[in-house]
Amino acid sequence: MLVLNCSTKLLTLEKMLKSHFPESLKVYGAVMNINRGNPFQKEVVLDSWPDFKAVITRRQKEAETDNLDHYTNAYAVFYKDIRAYRRLLEEHDVINWDQVFQIQGLQSELYDVTKAVANSKQLNVQLTSFKAVRFSPVSTLPDTSLLMSSPPRLTHLSVADADLLNRTWSRGGNEQCLQYIANLISCFPSVCVRDDKGNPVSWSLTDQFATMCHGYTLPEHRRKGYSRLVALTLARKLQSRGFPSQGNVLDDNTASISLLKSVHAEFLPCRFHRLILTPVAFSGQSRL
């Protein structure tokens, strides 16, 4: 195991990961954030340098953690050789197996290998698989100024909005998620439409892997073009900062899939896999 903490080498790694798109997108997004101030206190672990075969991004050991917070306790994985990834998993002190956490990646063998190692350590594994998508370059995105005749108030989210987002997110509804969303809003780009009273009615934000997430419009404000406006505006904002505008969508989320197709988003050939791992001792406590 090698912890890569040299700023020059981290910038080199960022460039190297670009040549392995789209499978490396999650790790690439995390590394980009590390190289731009590291607001989420992440670090990079590799099997070797510079000819690495597996790379994992994780929270820094000195960062404050909640053992039940799988939102924040999140790893991103990219490997050129699945055996190298397994060796990293099995190596002492790479993964904190004593807490609830998640592993994200865009490679098909990720689940089987992770589950095999997790079983040996008595952790349960919950897999959710998504379509992975990426927005077109800014120059080809639809012009948002033409989406509606009376433009709504378009702005960004504030930490005061975190409770609403926690209550409306399918993955939320608990204290860990509330704190996680507040941290995302504080650290990363977001976009929202507000009503006349200043309350958010449609929004999307960016997570620790530079992924667009929690795109949502309140039911009473749907069919007004807000979701499209918010998604395109956030994609432009990310691309203007050099980030790839990437996202994930569940196979049965037909409304979001239709929206993505309408703006000519690219559905990637690989799928996004999120694994939530829970020690058997915590199984009755965690809220997934």
Question: What's the CATH code, domain 2-132+272-282?
Answer: 3.40.630.30
At 142 the pLDDT is 60
Same fold? 2-132+272-282, 137-263 = yes
Spatial separation of the C-alpha atoms in residues 48 and 3, rounded to whole Å: 9
Element (H, E) at 82: helix 82-90
The alpha-helical segments, DSSP class H, found in 121-253 are 162-168, 175-187, 226-240
Instruction: Enumerate long-range contacts of 247-255, CB under 8 Å, 24 or more apart.
Output: 247/132, 247/133, 247/134, 247/135, 247/211, 247/212, 247/213, 247/215, 248/130, 248/131, 248/132, 248/133, 248/211, 248/213, 248/272, 249/130, 249/131, 249/133, 250/128, 250/130, 250/131, 251/130, 251/131
Spatial separation of the C-alpha atoms in residues 49 and 153, rounded to whole Å: 48
Low-confidence ranges of the chain (pLDDT < 50): 149, 286-288
> Are 47 and 65 in contact, with CB atoms under 8 Å apart?
no
At 273 the pLDDT is 98
What is the DSSP-derived secondary structure letter of residue 191? E
Residues 214-231 have pLDDT tens digits of 999 999 999 999 999 999
At 148 the pLDDT is 53
At 283 the pLDDT is 64
The bridge status of strand 74-79 relative to strand 200-206 is unpaired
- The domain limits of the chain are 2-132+272-282, 137-263
- Token pair 């990646």 in the structure block, residue: 105
At 150 the pLDDT is 61
The pair phi, psi for residue 124, each rounded to 5°, is: -85, 145
Residues 228-244 have pLDDT tens digits of 999 999 999 999 999 99
C-alpha distances out from residue 27 to 38, 256, 274, Å: 14, 24, 13
Tell me what the pLDDT averaged over the chain comes to: 93
- Token pair 């597996």 in the structure block, residue: 54
Spatial separation of the C-alpha atoms in residues 225 and 172, rounded to whole Å: 25
Spatial separation of the C-alpha atoms in residues 181 and 187, rounded to whole Å: 10
The fourth-level CATH superfamily of domain 137-263 is Gcn5-related N-acetyltransferase (GNAT) (3.40.630.30)
